[in-house]
């Protein structure tokens, strides 16, 4: 336990160093170029408040983008996340500075500041990565699976072999038959898609023997994560019900939808006009593409998108998923607007009309949903809430994440609705625009749980 406390303390010290490395250049830039040119310059405490506000904004966005996860992120991922955090924090305070000045504030110092901060971030991420894995050896890891095999391949694929040293792998039946001897001498165990009874047996053993557990849940586990704790009959009770958030949450969510969608349409209207002209100039076909999609309680609505495929893309009447950039039905302009997610912008009109929300499960076509439900009846559980422009699955999954896994992510969102979570997903959506892998294709028919 002392070793664990030492590790947590050192991690916090290293992360505080990162915050200092980002904040000190900002403070220098503020004092040198902005503090004395305000319409009403601050006293010392006012300047310190501005610097503290930068630190708070940077830490907030850094956490939203997982920029401080030394052991789980690749160096490039951490640099990207921290770069987004400093750009947003600097940008907000630059805007505030503009409001406090008679003239537009000088831009070059802010650009130089951002470049310096990104370089310092790269230095910190590299140094922190080397320090962490030289100080804390990989944890001896066991994997127990039921439906899902291949966790050891995922650990290697995502560059986590330095954190998890897989020393034993077994299916749940074999592990239980051997009285869970697989847990002897390990620090971590991954449980992959195991039924609740067997999972609970292993869970209790892990707690008793101080073995850290990572659980890849089943759908029932995800639904249970939203259970409300209460007491009845002098007994602890967990209440589970269909999606039924508080009225004030629904009111705030709708207000946020209207405000942000309205502002986004106003700001992005020049971009949308350019896209519309480019689509029309390419083949003379219609600019917009309407398609029947599903939303709350199975209701249908016409989703609006910029057309990215040929006019005759589905001339045989068969609904097909796109297979990504290699899909020969996508036009040259369509390939670009898909890569930049510009094809989704007209859905802001669906949001204003109340057919969609900014955050929620992505709306699926009835034909595609029916195909999924043949093998995955629980797929209809996504329809407990209004469809969204972005969602949990879009932020934390990839384009080729299986429908089973996307369903679990959507149910995680549905199980714990909150405005804070909505804003986290909206801000995190910005990050995926910089991740090329999130635009990869999906194989048709790939419905079941991945290995």
**For every one of its 451 residues, what pLDDT tens digit does the chain have, with 9 covering 90 and above?**
577 788 888 999 999 999 999 999 999 999 898 887 775 666 667 888 889 999 999 999 999 888 999 888 889 889 999 999 999 999 999 988 888 777 788 899 999 999 999 999 999 999 999 999 888 888 999 999 887 777 888 888 777 888 898 998 898 999 998 989 999 889 999 998 888 889 999 999 999 998 999 998 888 888 888 888 888 888 888 888 888 888 999 999 999 999 999 999 999 999 999 989 988 888 778 888 888 999 999 999 999 998 888 776 665 555 555 555 566 678 888 888 888 788 889 999 999 999 999 999 999 999 888 888 888 888 889 999 999 999 988 888 776 678 888 888 999 999 888 899 999 899 888 877 766 554 443 333 333 443 3
DSSP tag of 330: B
How do strand 164-171 and strand 139-145 relate by DSSP bridges? Answer: parallel
Query: Could you identify the residue written with the tokens 């030492």?
Result: 6
CB 319 within 8 A of CB 279: no
pTM of the model: 0.78
Task: Copy the structure tokens of residue 61.
Answer: 């966005």
End-to-end CA distance of the chain, in Å?
34
Query: Could you identify the residue written with the tokens 């792998």?
Result: 169
Q: How many residues does the chain have?
A: 451
Determine the topology of domain 139-216 in CATH.
Answer: Rossmann fold (3.40.50)
Q: Which helix (H) or strand (E) holds 289?
A: strand 288-294
Domain with CATH 3.40.50.2300 in the chain: 139-216
> Measured between alpha carbons, how far is 237 from 228 in angstroms, rounded to an integer?
8
> Measured between alpha carbons, how far is 121 from 83 in angstroms, rounded to an integer?
7
Q: Which residues of 415-451 are buried (b: 16+ CB within 10 A; e: fewer)?
A: bebeeeebebbbbbbbbbeeeeebbeebeeeebebee
What is the three-class DSSP state of 318?
coil
How do strand 188-192 and strand 139-145 relate by DSSP bridges? Answer: parallel
> Measured between alpha carbons, how far is 85 from 80 in angstroms, rounded to an integer?
9
> Measured between alpha carbons, how far is 386 from 360 in angstroms, rounded to an integer?
6
3-class secondary structure per residue, 177-218? HCCCHHHCCCCEEEEECCCHHHHHHHHHHHHHCCCEEEEECC
């Amino acid at each position: 336990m002392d070793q664990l406390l030492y590790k947590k303390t050192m991690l916090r010290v290293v992360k505080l160093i990162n915050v200092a490395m980002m904040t000190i250049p900002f403070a220098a830039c503020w004092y040198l170029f902005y503090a004395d040119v305000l319409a009403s310059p601050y006293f010392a405490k006012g300047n310190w408040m501005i610097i503290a506000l930068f630190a708070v904004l940077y830490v907030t966005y850094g956490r939203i983008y997982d920029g401080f996860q030394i052991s789980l992120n690749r160096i490039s991922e951490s640099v990207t996340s921290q770069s987004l955090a400093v750009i947003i924090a600097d940008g907000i305070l630059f805007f505030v500075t503009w409001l406090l000045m008679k003239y537009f504030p000088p831009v070059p110092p802010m650009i130089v500041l951002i470049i310096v901060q990104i370089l310092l971030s790269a230095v910190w991420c590299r140094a922190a990565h080397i320090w962490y894995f030289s100080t804390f050896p990989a944890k001896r890891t066991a994997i127990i699976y039921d439906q899902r095999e291949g966790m050891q391949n995922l650990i290697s694929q995502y560059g986590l072999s330095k954190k998890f040293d897989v020393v034993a792998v077994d299916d749940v039946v074999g592990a239980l038959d051997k009285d869970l001897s697989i847990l002897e001498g390990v620090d971590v165990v991954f449980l992959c898609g195991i039924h609740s009874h067997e999972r609970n047996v292993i869970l209790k053993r892990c707690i008793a023997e101080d073995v850290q557990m990572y659980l890849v849940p089943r759908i029932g586990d995800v639904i249970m994560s939203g259970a409300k704790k209460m007491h009845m009959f002098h007994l602890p009770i967990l209440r589970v019900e269909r999606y039924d958030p508080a009225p004030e949450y629904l009111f705030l969510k709708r207000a946020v939808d209207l405000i942000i969608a309205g502002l986004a349409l106003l700001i992005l209207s020049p971009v949308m006009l350019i896209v519309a002209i480019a689509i029309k100039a390419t083949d003379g076909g219609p600019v917009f593409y309407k398609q029947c999609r599903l939303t709350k309680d199975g209701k249908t609505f016409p989703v609006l998108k910029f057309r990215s495929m040929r006019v005759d893309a589905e001339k045989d009447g068969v609904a097909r998923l796109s297979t990504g950039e290699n899909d020969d039905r996508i036009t040259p302009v369509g390939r670009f607007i898909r890569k930049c997610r510009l094809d989704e912008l007209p859905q802001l009109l669906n949001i204003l009309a109340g057919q969609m929300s900014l955050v929620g499960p992505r709306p699926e076509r009835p034909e595609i949903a029916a195909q999924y439900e043949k093998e995955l009846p629980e797929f209809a559980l996504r329809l407990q809430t209004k469809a969204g422009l972005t969602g949990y699955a879009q932020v934390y999954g990839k384009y080729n994440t299986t429908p089973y896994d996307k369903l679990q992510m959507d149910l995680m969102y549905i199980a714990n609705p909150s405005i804070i979570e909505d804003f986290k997903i909206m801000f995190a959506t910005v990050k995926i625009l910089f991740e090329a892998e999130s635009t990869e294709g999906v194989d048709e028919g790939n419905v079941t749980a991945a290995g």
